[in-house]
Structure formats: structure tokens, C-alpha cells
Amino acid sequence: MSASDVVIRPARPDDAPRVHALHTSSVRTLCAGHYSADVIEAWLSNRTPAGYLGPIERGALFVAERGGRIVGFGEAAAGTVIAVYVDPGCARQGVGTAILRHALALAHRNHDGPIRLEATVNARDFYEHSGFREIRRAPVERNHVDIPVVVMEYDAPSRAEARMLEVTLPVAVEASAVEAAQMQERVARLLPSREGHFVFESGHHGQVWLDLERLFLHPDRVRPLAEGLADRLREHRLEAVCGPLVEGAFVGLMVASSLHLPFTYSEPVRDERATGLFPVSYPIPKPLQPELHGKRVAIVNDVINAGSAVRGTLASLKQCGAQPVVVGTLAVYGPAASELAATHDVALVTLASFPSRIWEPSRCPLCANGVPLLGHAARHG
């Protein structure tokens, strides 16, 4: 195995769970000889897959793949290398070097002068061999625990070196990251969000609320995004689209029209006797069911948070013998959508993703702190 079979690409929102798992196991394994168990646990506490979505959205986080599997990740901003992590099973095989080289190229963009990083004690020698020098040792505080780190610096490269670094940064990566950031902006403008303490359709509690009733007030503003989504769904060789009512079906109708495909929908039915999570099912009207039998179908939605509508629609599609192959949506909030897609082995295509936390009511920290519920809203879960 060599570094040459490592492929670097920008991280996608659906990579967040894998990046989180890799980060955790890498810290536990590779740092174990240099930090006490208490320090490592404090360092890792409060981390969730959703915490990686911000840097993914900014185009700052990228992954290293080998044979289609993520074996490491890195993060950088102008002037700083923020993270270089390698799957413990792939340590000392050149993966870290490939990640660091890419991180340096990112850190040099729009930045003149030295590149800084805070190395864990165990990684110090790796960075020194890669051209960094130690500036000082200083602890950083995480979750009220001091973690010793080594501040290191990489001198500004000469013009020739800088040109070489430019070359190692694939142009396609840059273009797609910029494009992704612009799309993120456009979707965010369309989805005004409020913060508070809410109950979602799924029964989960959460902090971010969207007034999706207003999404289609001006359909012309949604249409270009729906067409962008349709373009990205094209490669899935679809035969039909299914959109959960209400706003998801509106997006689905636009996408189906754009792809010249049959359009179907599912409708929310609340089980009043249900006491657990996901009390709403999404049956497909009987007259539409034969149209879906044996077809490759995309579920198209507006926004996925806990995933109640997509989950219900997936179940109904399978019941009528359809083959759901992809979930397409304008936006996802938090990691539930990618977890749901992975569980059901369908692809996830989203134009934007935003961080968000949801909790089972019994574990909701807002409830625990006595924050009043702002509304028992029945939809958007």
C-alpha cells in the first residue's frame, strides 16, 4: 500500500458520521501513549457528527479515500492547519502526509506568511519531519481540562514552492467547493430559521425551526433550486418521483416536471394512539400505487430534519413494490438524513446542509433546563 492510491476529495455532509467515528478512534488509539484516559475522554466529550457539518459546508474539511473507503480527513483555513487525522489501521502508510500536503495547499490560499498548527504531543515528530518547527508548548483547554499541545510553524514557501503547492491542489476541488458554498447561501436565504425549543413531527425536540409554509409563497424563487436538484438526480436513472405532502410534494412536482417523469406523493397520517417517536405514517394514495410498482423512485423533499416524512415515504414505497434509490432535498439539518439514507441503502442528494441537534424528549437538555416549549407544531420533522 502506498500514498499514491490515496484520493483526496472535499467532504460531503453524508461523510459526517464516518469522520466523527474516525476522529474518535484515531484520538483514542494514536494519542493513548501520550495522554491520560481522563484527558482523552474530556477532549472527545460533546462531539457529534453534526459538529463536522459547519467546516464541511465552508469547504474546509476534506477526506482521504483508499479503495472507496475514508481512511483519514483534514481541515485547514487560511494560515492554519486545523486537523490531520488518520484511521489507526492505516497509520504510517503515507496517508497523513497526503492529507497534510493538501491541508498546506488550502492554508496557503489567500495567505502569505507562515502556517501554524497545534500538534498533539504524539504527532510532533511527524510534523517536524514534514518541515514544521516547534515554537512553544502550551496547554489548550477543552471541556475544563488542559490538554498539552505543541504550537508549530511552517515557513512561508518560496515562490517556486508556492507554485508547486498550487499544482497539487486539484482545480476541480476548488471549483466545487466554491459552487457548494454559493448554493448553501442561496438555500439559506430561502429558509428563514428561528431558534428556540420546539417539538417536531417525529416527536423529537430541537432548537431550530423553519416556517416552511412560506417556502412556496414565491414559487419562482424555488424553481431554480428545484431544477438544480433535478440535475443532480438525473444520474440515478429514475422512473418516478414521490414527494411527501405538503411542501416536499411541491418540490417533488417541480423536480418531476423538470425531469419529465411521473409524479406521485405520500400524505401524512397521524396515529393518535402512538406514544413513541415517529407517530406519523406517509401512505401513498391507492390509485397511485400501481404506477410505482417496480420503478426506480426518488423521494424528493424540502427539508429533512429528524426525517419523519422521508422515513414514512420509504416504508410506503417498499410496500407498493417500488425501488427507492435516492433521497433528494433542498436542505438537511443535522445528521439524521444521512443516517437514514445509509440505513436504507439509498443515496442522499442535498443542495445544502446545516448543523442542528435534535433529542428524544427524555434526553432534551432544553427540557432539563426548564426552557419553555415555543410551540407544539405538528409538522416538519
CB of 354 to Zn ion, least distance (A): 20
CB of 193 to Zn ion, least distance (A): 17
CB of 362 to Zn ion, least distance (A): 9
Beta carbon nearer to Zn ion, 27 or 366? 366
Segment interacting with Zn ion (CB under 5 A) among 172-180, 279-287, 295-303, 366-374: 366-374
CB of 361 to Zn ion, least distance (A): 6
What's the 3-state SS for the chain?
A: CCHHHCEEEECCHHHHHHHHHHHHHHHHHHCCCCCCHHHHHHHHCCCCHHHHHHHHHHCCEEEEEECCEEEEEEEEECCEEEEEEECHHHCCCCHHHHHHHHHHHHHHCCCCCCEEEEEEHHHHHHHHHCCCEEEEEEEEEECCEEEEEEEEEECCCCHHHHHHHHHHCCHHHHHHHHHHHHHHHHHHHHCCEEEEEEECCCCCEEEEEECHHHCCCCHHHHHHHHHHHHHHHHHHCCCEEEEECCHHHHHHHHHHHHHCCCEEEECCEECCCCCCCCCEECCCCHHHHHHHCCCEEEEEEEEECCCHHHHHHHHHHHHCCCEEEEEEEEEEECCHHHHHHHHCCCEEEEEEEECCCEECHHHCHHHHCCCCCCECCCCCC
CA 123/CA 116 separation, integer angstroms = 14
Segment interacting with Zn ion (CB under 5 A) among 167-175, 184-192, 201-209, 293-301: 201-209
Beta carbon nearer to Zn ion, 5 or 360? 360
Query: Does 364 participate in binding Zn ion (rule CB under 5 A)?
Result: yes
Q: Are 268 and 248 in contact (CB under 8 A)?
A: no
Segment interacting with Zn ion (CB under 5 A) among 236-244, 294-302, 325-333, 365-373: 365-373
* Count of residues that bind Zn ion according to CB under 5 A: 4
Query: Does 205 participate in binding Zn ion (rule CB under 5 A)?
Result: yes
Query: Does 204 participate in binding Zn ion (rule CB under 5 A)?
Result: no
Segment interacting with Zn ion (CB under 5 A) among 55-63, 163-171, 202-210, 317-325: 202-210
Beta carbon nearer to Zn ion, 59 or 203? 203
Beta carbon nearer to Zn ion, 155 or 360? 360
Segment interacting with Zn ion (CB under 5 A) among 162-170, 244-252, 293-301, 362-370: 362-370
Beta carbon nearer to Zn ion, 216 or 359? 359
CA 373/CA 379 separation, integer angstroms = 15
Query: Does 295 participate in binding Zn ion (rule CB under 5 A)?
Result: no
Beta carbon nearer to Zn ion, 44 or 367? 367
The single residue among 70, 162, 169, 367 that binds Zn ion, judged by CB under 5 A, is 367
CB of 363 to Zn ion, least distance (A): 9
Segment interacting with Zn ion (CB under 5 A) among 59-67, 123-131, 205-213, 320-328: 205-213
Query: Does 366 participate in binding Zn ion (rule CB under 5 A)?
Result: yes
Beta carbon nearer to Zn ion, 219 or 361? 361
In the complex, the residues that contact Zn ion under the rule CB under 5 A are: 205, 364, 366-367
